[in-house]
Structure 1
Amino acid sequence: MKRFVSLLLMLTLAVCVGSVASAALDQSLMDLPFKERAANVYNSSLKKVELSVIKDGKATKTTYKSIYIPVKDVFKRSGATFKWDGKKKITTIKNEGQELILNFSGKEITAGNNQVVLPQEWVQLKNGISSMDAFVLAYIFELSTDDSDQERVDWKEKLNFLDIKGTTGFPGLDKYMHVFVQFND
């Protein structure tokens, strides 16, 4: 199974390197807001996601009828802890003594020490489920990009505590955005 997952990731990477790397250098994309830039690197017309999470050589695969991925599905095997504060309307993902904050309050909040707040346009709360934009997640940790997008580099550095080794994202002919998230073992 581990060899199969590795082979699948390498094939996916090979297919995506050309499109993602060249898109990252396209100046017209650099003028877009981050979320739109991330979507356009892959294929902004895609509206569904297939998520594969790889940890300790084991993979789980889940499909969604939305471009938003539940954060619990991304991080549940990573060792991170989750907390929902219904009064403040925020979800907190804690790992390595740092916190990722997903703000659903509609109000601007300031990050405290050891906290990172994701922009509200990157997250969604629907039916009680805290989710994150799949394009953004894939783009921030994408293995096949260069450092031409400084904002992407900055976000990757800020979110390093999440222990994500890398992501691979590619638009499938099946009209799904395929996102592979690999955690450090």
Structure 2
Amino acid sequence: MNVSRIKKPFLVAAALALLLTGLPYDRAHAEASLRTRAEIAYFTDVDSIKLHRLGSDFTPEEAQKATSYDSRYIPVKDLFGGQVEAIRWNAAAKTVSIVNKGKTAILNFSGKKIAAKQGEIVLPATWSKMENSKALIDIYTLTYVLDRYGDAFDDAERTAWSEKLDFLGIQYAETLPVIRSSDVQIYVTFEEK
């Protein structure tokens, strides 16, 4: 019996079996980004967002009112306005800084990599964008990172970002889908000042 004839079909069959099971494909490609995992977690097919801000100095009436958005990106001032020490635009550097508790989260719109200094955290470029002269932040990703029940996701990167961003004054975020709609309610609860 010719051994070389046996080896070739066996190798072809083994390669085909591996290809069909997807094992080499899964190993060859990186895990989905944090941003993608956020969308998959609870935002697939969401058309609009209704944002509620609670806690701190919000009255129950204010907390009941929602601001509606047709995008995952919402204005930084709408989310953090009145809840952090400062929101600053640096025109020369093309950055927006969210300052609170002696630390700074930086949204970089320069298109260049910037290094964080002591007390600074530079957010990934995919977490923000500039549109119509407004700095916008990806509420899907931020909500996923600061989710009240986020430990259930078993996501080490999410946990690390949650710890890094604890200075922003957000106690936690929660999402609730709207029945018979493709909308979602997002409740962001700020810590008491």
| Equivalent position of 1:99 in the other structure | 104
Deviation readout 1:33-85 (Å, 9 max, x if unpaired)? 10000010002322421111113352252111211111111111313311101
* Percentage of pairs with the same residue: 33
The number of equivalent residue pairs is 156
Distance 1:76 1:55 in 2: 13
- The residue matched to 1:146 in structure 2 has which SS? helix
Find 2:182's aligned residue among 149, 163, 175: 175
Distance 1:47 1:101 in 2: 28
State the Cα distance separating 1:106 from its structure 2 match: 0.8
Spell out the pairing of 1:58-97 with structure 2 (5 A cutoff): 58=59, 59=63, 60-97=65-102
Q: Report the structure number with the largest CA radius of gyration.
A: 2
In structure 1, runs of 5+ residues without a counterpart are 1-29
TM-score (norm 1): 0.79
Distance 1:100 1:88 in 2: 14
**Runs ≥4 in structure 1, deviation > 6 angstroms?**
none
Deviation readout 1:135-180 (Å, 9 max, x if unpaired)? 1111011012226111011001101111111000233343223211
| Equivalent position of 2:42 in the other structure | 42
| Equivalent position of 1:165 in the other structure | 171
Distance 2:47 2:35 in 1: 14
Larger displacement relative to structure 2 (127-136 or 60-69): 60-69
Distance 1:110 1:47 in 2: 35
- C-alpha contact 1:171 1:177 (8 A) present in aligned 2: yes
Q: Counterpart of 1:32 in structure 2: which amino acid?
A: A
- C-alpha contact 1:101 1:118 (8 A) present in aligned 2: yes
TM-score (norm 2): 0.76
